[in-house]
Amino acid sequence: LKKLELFNGLSTEELQEIKAIMQEKNYAKNEMIFMEGAEANNFYIILTGLVKVFKTDEQGREKTLSLLGNKDFFGEMALLDNNSRSASVQAIDESKIFKISRKKFKRLVTEYPEISLKIIATLSQRLRNSNQQIQNLTFKQVKGRLLDSLKQLADKYGVEQENGILINKKITHQELANLVGTTRATITKLLGELIEEDKVEIKNRYLILKK
């Protein structure tokens, strides 16, 4: 718990109290955590793994809103605005996740203003990202959007290498397509171009964003 940014600055006793209200659960790769529109009963914090937050249209096409990993939280929106789930969340890698019930989450945010402020800061950051996405989807070509997405992934999950930054999560072309807002075939073609241009390298199925 000490490693979770959300609980920074709390005393050992306070952390112990919070630990007691958490439930740990393992999700398999591709397991659904909840669906958009569902009734909301829990708040979630990712210990390890990777989940995608996404929306689906009538034709079954998916748009990934965000990929969330270690120490990220989700499921706060529906609990805070008393509405149904605003998007679906699925584990796309094996994930270990803490769960807190609606009632206990409400108590946490009313009793600990530091926690509330951190949640608000994260919501602001996510709104910033969404605004950037709106701008990119409105004005940028697919290739520019792909490069931006790769940079964001490198910022979040990157490991420094001699020749660039390795994105330390295995992300399929289909997942990249859902994130960027295009088709898998286009991603495959554009990655080929970026490799030609020496902007990207693939090593053991990991992407490296070159210097």
Residues that bind ligand CMP (CB under 6 A): 40, 53, 65-66, 74-78, 85-87, 89, 126, 130
Q: Which of 200, 135, 197 is nearest to 173 (CA)?
A: 200
Separation CA 105–CA 35 (nearest Å): 20
Q: What sign does the dihedral 172-174-178-182 (CA atoms) show? A: positive
Complex with ligand CMP: residue 76 or 94, whichever CB lies closer: 76
Minimum CB separation of residue 112 from ligand CMP in Å reads: 19
3-class DSSP state for residue 148? helix
Minimum CB separation of residue 27 from ligand CMP in Å reads: 15
Minimum CB separation of residue 113 from ligand CMP in Å reads: 20
Minimum CB separation of residue 134 from ligand CMP in Å reads: 11
**C-beta of residue 9 within 8 angstroms of C-beta of residue 114:** yes
Q: Which amino acid is at 24?
A: E
- One DSSP character per residue, 172-202 reads -HHHHHHHHTS-HHHHHHHHHHHHHTTSEEE
Separation CA 150–CA 200 (nearest Å): 9
Complex with ligand CMP: residue 41 or 161, whichever CB lies closer: 41
Strand order in the sheet with 73-74: 23-27, 95-101, 42-48, 73-74
Separation CA 80–CA 155 (nearest Å): 29
**C-beta of residue 199 within 8 angstroms of C-beta of residue 163:** no
Complex with ligand CMP: residue 40 or 150, whichever CB lies closer: 40
Minimum CB separation of residue 55 from ligand CMP in Å reads: 9
Complex with ligand CMP: residue 65 or 209, whichever CB lies closer: 65
Minimum CB separation of residue 53 from ligand CMP in Å reads: 4
Complex with ligand CMP: residue 86 or 168, whichever CB lies closer: 86
Complex with ligand CMP: residue 45 or 191, whichever CB lies closer: 45
